[in-house]
Amino acid sequence: MPETIGVNVTQSKEPLPAGVKLPIYMDNHATTPLDPRVLEAMMPYLTGIFGNAASRNHSFGWEAEAGVEKAREQIAALIGCTAKEIIFTSGATESNNLAIKGIAEMYKERGNHIITEVTEHKAVLDTCKKLEKQGFRITYLPVKADGLIDLEDLRNAIDDQTILVSIMYANNEIGVVQPIKEIGALCHEKKVLFHTDAVQAVGKIPVNVINDNIDVLSLSGHKLYGPKGVGALYVRRRNPRVQISEQQNGGGHERGMRSGTLNVPGIVGLGAACEIAMNEMESEAKREIELRDYLRAKLEKALDYTQVNGNMDHHLPGNLNMSFVYVEGESLLMGINDIAVSSGSACTSATLEPSYVLKALGLGDDVAHSSIRFGLGRFNTKAEVDYVSDKLIDVVLHLRELSPLYEMVKEGIDLSKIEWAAH
Question: Which residues have a Cβ under 8 Å from the Cβ of 239 and sit 6 or more positions away?
Answer: none
**Residues annotated as catalytic (active site), given as ranges:** 347
The three-state secondary structure class of 420 is coil
* CA distances (Å), origin 301, targets 122, 304, 327: 35, 8, 17
Q: Taking phi first (over 0 means left), then psi (-120 to 50 degrees means alpha), and beta for anything else, what does residue 112 get? A: alpha
User: In this structure, are residues 92 and 199 in contact, taking their beta carbons and an 8 Å threshold?
Assistant: yes
The three-state secondary structure class of 93 is helix
Question: Which residues have a Cβ under 8 Å from the Cβ of 293 and sit 6 or more positions away?
Answer: none
- Rounded to an integer, what distance in angstroms lies between the CA atom of residue 177 and that of residue 9? 34
- Rounded to an integer, what distance in angstroms lies between the CA atom of residue 259 and that of residue 124? 21
Residue environment code for 197-206, b if the CB has 16+ CB neighbours within 10 A, otherwise e? bbbbbbbbbe
Q: What is the DSSP string of 345-413?
A: EEEETTEEEEPHHHHHTT--HHHHHTEEEEE--TT--HHHHHHHHHHHHHHHHHHHHT-HHHHHHHTT-
* CA distances (Å), origin 137, targets 24, 114, 158, 187: 44, 6, 12, 17
User: In this structure, are residues 391 and 336 in contact, taking their beta carbons and an 8 Å threshold?
Assistant: yes
Count Cβ atoms within 10 A of the Cβ of residue 360 and give its class: 0-12 exposed, 13-18 middle, 19 or more buried. buried
Q: What is the DSSP string of 254-305?
A: GGGT--S---HHHHHHHHHHHHHHHHHHHHHHHHHHHHHHHHHHHHHHH-SS
The three-state secondary structure class of 115 is strand
User: In this structure, are residues 232 and 86 in contact, taking their beta carbons and an 8 Å threshold?
Assistant: yes
Q: What angle do CA 43, 46, 50 make, to 5 degrees?
A: 130
